[in-house]
Structure 1
Amino acid sequence: MHQLFTINENNLIQHIDNEFLKNKKVYLGVKRDDLLHPLISGNKWRKLKYNLAHMKELNKTELLTFGGAFSNHIHACAAAGKEFNIQTHAIIRGPELDSNNPTLQFAKQCGMQLHVVNRIEYKQRYDQRYLEALQGRFPNAFIIPEGGTNEHALLGCKELVHSLPEHDYLVCPTGSGGTLAGLIEGSEANTHIIGIAVLKQAQYLNAEVKKLSSKAKKQDNWQLLTDFHDGGYGKFSPALWQFCQEMNHTYNLPLEPIYSGKMMYALWKLIEQDYFPPGSKIIAVHTGGLQGLNGLKYRGLI
């Protein structure tokens, strides 16, 4: 790891203790990756860490990435740019830029250059020719895909596993599949790894995870559960938001209803249904993304 790009990676596991879990005879610990850094936290730091090191190896001095207007990844890249003094650029899905949007305001304050494109152009974000043209426009930039998932991202997620106490089950929210793939790569074959898909019709992510992780192709100790999306990406029911607030109030565990809240809510339901045998040790990874609450408030959704 390049010594320039380090943050204090605390290793806090919060034990959730109550009668319900005692009766079910399961241990539930939450890996509080949301506390890694005030601004670049959770899986966004894990994914960025080795991308930044690789950027340095290639002698690139800028970072370019993609995202929607409320993206956690855009927020984290902008914060990393400020923290490590790197010029950052973001291709933002338009068609226009809302200057009052809290995520974009923050990105600008960090010195990120925002380049708005229409949805048709944004759809080309994985197209090789389009990426080559962008590289021509930004010759000093290292390009990271939307959401930050690539082979360098996996290294950081894999590293997370090595810091955990003994466990039988490891659970994470799944958007692009990068965190899940990294956890599979870092885990022993006798650990069960469960991804909770946060978007609708997410079965295609099984193939993505196998593409990213060679272990995922060979092993059957992991699964992606696709029935807990609560309406689709960015959507959530009043019951889920109520659950998030209760977890914050009762256990001082802040959750947002897009990623970590969906995972914890799903986990709660699975425990209720006796999905986990008595005596199971479960660790749930809080992947951060709490800045998303500002966006939900801004849109009047919470």
Structure 2
Amino acid sequence: MEAIQEDLATLEPVPWLSNPATRVQVLRLDRVHPLISGNKWYKLRFYLETARSSGKKVVTFGGAYSNHILATAAACNQAGIPCAGIIRGEAPPQYSETLRDAVSLGMELHFIAREAYRQKQLPAALADTSCLVIPEGGYGIPGMLGAATMPFISGTFDRICCATGTGTMMAGLLHSAAKGTAVTGFSVLKNHKSLTQEVAALLPPSSPSGIIYHDFHFGGYAKYNPTLIRFMNELYAQTGIPTDFVYTAKLFYGVKAMLEQDFKTDRNILVIHSGGLQGNRSLPKGALIF
């Protein structure tokens, strides 16, 4: 398997999003690895160090198309760490491509009922196993500290923008961004009003707070419509930057909209491309031009 290549996480100007007053650059974390993609590697790195030193099996949670599940399977495979994925819902007659890939990388899959999943219960098969549990999306102090090691985020920017699910990456940005840099999240979940508190819970009390927009989720997690798909194709045609419909497309769409509104006084904006392109495999074939 390919090694993580953090040196490929480069800054790339995006003239299509920029204007005469504001320069927009994207941090291409999607390039560091095809499976341990983008911010997933950074959120996992300290959890994996602990698992390796303790000899514990990694156990984590996700859905049938979860970027986090696939990234964890690939990272554990690369590090020689046994792992298991707790998957939301009943086992389907046929696994998604994401789950098939995770199994091929050595991850055990355990399917649990949705209510048990909400309570993050471990199945009986893991009850006697020495486990290191990684919360969904890498949420937790180790995940936040790992996200804080992403390159360039301590640079001189007026604003850093990211997609937010659990808020782990946003907390890492707040932890390491230079003083005076606004950190802005674009929530991909509908009505996730507790997100601000969940981000703050990972940080020291004196940490700066960020801004979260809740109007660019396109109906909720993993929801989309023709407008978002057209935007993804136009963004790629104009810039060569591929996005996924779950996270990064909603981020770029929101940034473009806000450049006409709240971001008018910014002169230098960094947008974090957090990877996760494999999620597009759930879209109808031919929907995207990339």
| TM-score normalised per structure 1 | 0.87
On the 8 A contact 1:256/1:290 being kept in 2, the answer is: yes
1:103 aligns with: 98
2:268 aligns with: 281
- Helix, strand or coil: the match of 1:212? coil
Bigger fraction of residues in helix:
1
1:17 aligns with: 15
On the 8 A contact 1:190/1:221 being kept in 2, the answer is: no
Q: What is the alpha-carbon distance in structure 1 between the residues aligned to residue 48 and residue 189 of structure 2? A: 28
1:7 aligns with: 4
- Helix, strand or coil: the match of 2:94? coil
Q: How does 1:115-194 map to 2 (within 5 A)?
A: 115-125=110-120, 130=121, 136-139=127-130, 141-160=131-150, 162=152, 165-194=155-184
On the 8 A contact 1:65/1:89 being kept in 2, the answer is: yes
1:211 aligns with: 201
Q: Does 1:28 align with 2:24?
A: yes
Q: Percent identity?
A: 35
Q: What is the alpha-carbon distance in structure 2 between the residues aligned to residue 177 and residue 58 of structure 1? A: 27
2:77 aligns with: 82
Task: Give the aligned residue type for 1:45.
Answer: W
Alpha-carbon shift at residue 150 of structure 1 (Å)? 1.1
Task: Give the aligned residue type for 2:277.
Answer: L
Q: Does 1:265 align with 2:256?
A: no
Unaligned runs of 5+ in 1: 1-5
User: CA-atom RMSD, angstroms?
Assistant: 2.2
1:192-230: per-residue Cα shift (whole Å, max 9, x none)?
Answer: 00000111112211110111112xx43555211111111
Alpha-carbon shift at residue 297 of structure 1 (Å)? 3.6
Alpha-carbon shift at residue 164 of structure 1 (Å)? 5.3
| TM-score normalised per structure 2 | 0.91
On the 8 A contact 2:157/2:269 being kept in 1, the answer is: yes
Alpha-carbon shift at residue 276 of structure 1 (Å)? 1.9
2:234 aligns with: 246
Q: What is the alpha-carbon distance in structure 1 between the residues aligned to residue 161 and residue 264 of structure 2? A: 15
- Helix, strand or coil: the match of 1:184? helix
On the 8 A contact 1:103/1:295 being kept in 2, the answer is: no
Q: What is the alpha-carbon distance in structure 2 between the residues aligned to residue 270 and residue 250 of structure 1? A: 19
Alpha-carbon shift at residue 21 of structure 1 (Å)? 2.4
Q: What is the alpha-carbon distance in structure 2 between the residues aligned to residue 34 and residue 194 of structure 1? A: 19
Q: What is the alpha-carbon distance in structure 1 between the residues aligned to residue 116 and residue 217 of structure 2? A: 28
- Residue-pair matches, total: 285
Unaligned runs of 5+ in 2: none
Q: What is the alpha-carbon distance in structure 1 between the residues aligned to residue 209 and residue 118 of structure 2? A: 34
Q: Does 1:199 align with 2:199?
A: no
Q: Does 1:225 align with 2:216?
A: no
